[in-house]
Structure 1
Amino acid sequence: MERQQYLYKLQLTEKLTQDKNWTDKENAVVGRHFSYLQRMHEDRKLILAGKTKGLDEDTFGIVIFEAETEEEALSLMNGDPAVKEGIMTAELFPYQVAFVQDLRK
């Protein structure tokens, strides 16, 4: 089966849009989130991940990746520790990369 591309958009829960509400617990979840994305990269599923700058209600992140089915895509999104542990909400979209620039040059 051919892999399809997907994007999930992440947003912090409202409480966490203020620095003062962050604790060691949330910071640890973000560390697990980053490790999860690294594993997706190592498994050659992750295309791109990043976030907007700042920390407010407009802050969001995106994860662009490949999966064989929408069910697998949902499973990957819902398996992200930031989503699973409730510090971020996520929304899945079918996606298609049109252009990619190699930024390593």
Structure 2
Amino acid sequence: MAEPLQFLYRIVPTRADMLVTGLTEHEMQVMATHFAHLQKLAADGVVLMAGRTLVAGPETFGIVVFLASSLAEAEAVMRSDPAIAQGLMHCELFPYRVAVWADAFRLNT
């Protein structure tokens, strides 16, 4: 069996001022589902990392680096993201390869 391929998808809010003016109740619910979805995929070994820029203007974006067996599967994983499926985010998919990963990588929150 071939080793899984790495992919990256980039997401951008469809409402450009979403992070400036604040999320609506509906957007908060979708984003909570989006976060839980990514956490589940990480626990399942699909998502390697996910995060977003810390700017609130129209230049903000998020990325998800993940594993899939094919481009078609990667597209399906990306499209299953609730933020994308429910229209809160635009998305763009890229084949990707992590070149350097620190052994001591830990999330500092």
Separation in 1, partners of 2:63, 2:18: 17
AA matched with 1:44: G
Q: Percentage identity across aligned positions? A: 37
Per the alignment, in what secondary structure is the counterpart of residue 40 of structure 1? helix
> TM-score w.r.t. structure 1 length?
0.92
Task: Give the structure 2 partner of residue 43 of structure 1.
Answer: 44
Relative to its length, the structure with more helix (as a share) is 1
* 2:40 counterpart of 1:74: no
AA matched with 1:87: L
| Unpaired stretches in structure 2, ≥5 consecutive residues | none
Runs of 4+ in structure 1 displaced over 2 angstroms? Answer: 14-22, 102-105
Separation in 2, partners of 1:28, 1:14: 16
Cα RMSD (Å): 1.7
Separation in 1, partners of 2:22, 2:79: 24
Per the alignment, in what secondary structure is the counterpart of residue 92 of structure 2? strand
* 2:34 counterpart of 1:33: yes
| Unpaired stretches in structure 1, ≥5 consecutive residues | none
> TM-score w.r.t. structure 2 length?
0.88
Count of matched residue positions in the alignment of Structure 1 and Structure 2: 105
How far apart are residue 103 of structure 1 and its match? 2.5
CA contact (8 A) 1:5 1:67 kept: yes
